[in-house]
Amino acid sequence: MNTRLYGCLAAATLGLSVLGAGTAQAAPAVPVEVEANQLDLDQRAGTAVYRGNVKIRQGEMRLRGARVEIQRNDEGELSRATAFGERAYLRHRPDPNKAPIEGNARRIIYHVADRRVELIDQAELDQGGDHFKGGRLEYFIDREVVKARSDVEGSDDQRIRMTLQPEE
C-alpha cells in the first residue's frame, strides 16, 4: 500500500483516540478498529467518509452508523467525527468505575476540542441510569453535563423527556 495513503488512513482513524483521552482503556497504544463497506479519503480536504454499516471501536469507545465522516484540522488531528443513520450509536466509558454513557440519534457529532457530543433528531442518552430523550441533546464529557432541546431543524419539535434515578 502507498505509504502516503497509509499515513492518511492512520491519521483519519487514529485521531479517534482522543475520544478516550485521559482514560486507561483508550490510551494511544490501543488500536482503532474500523469496519465499513466503503471508504472515501480526501487528503487535501482532511476528510474520510466511511459508508455501509460502519463500526469504529477503540478500547471502551464505540461509534456506529450507516455513514461516519471524520474531519481533520491543518495539523492532521481529528477535529470532528459525525455518525449518521436511522439509529447512529455512541458508547463511551470515560471512567472504569462508572457506567458507560450510551446514546443514539439520527446524527451524532463529536467535537474533539470541546470534548462535547451532540445527538440530533430522535436523540436518546443514558448516563448512569438516568435517561434523556429529545430533539437535540448535548453531552459535555469532562463536566458530565447534559443540555436538552426539543427543536431540530427541518423536523417537528421533539419534547424532552427525562427519567432521573434517585441518589443512593
Three-point CA angle 135, 138, 139, nearest 5°: 140
Residue for grid cell 452508523: 65
State whether the Cα torsion 63-58-96-138 is positive or negative. Answer: negative
Q: What gap in Å lies between CA 124 and CA 30, rounded to an integer? A: 28
> DSSP readout, 48-95?
EEEEEEEEEEETTEEEEEEEEEEEE-TTS-EEEEEEEEEEEEEEE-S-
Q: Structure pTM?
A: 0.80
Average pLDDT value for the chain: 82
Interval 81-108: pLDDT, tens: 999 999 999 998 878 888 899 999 999 9
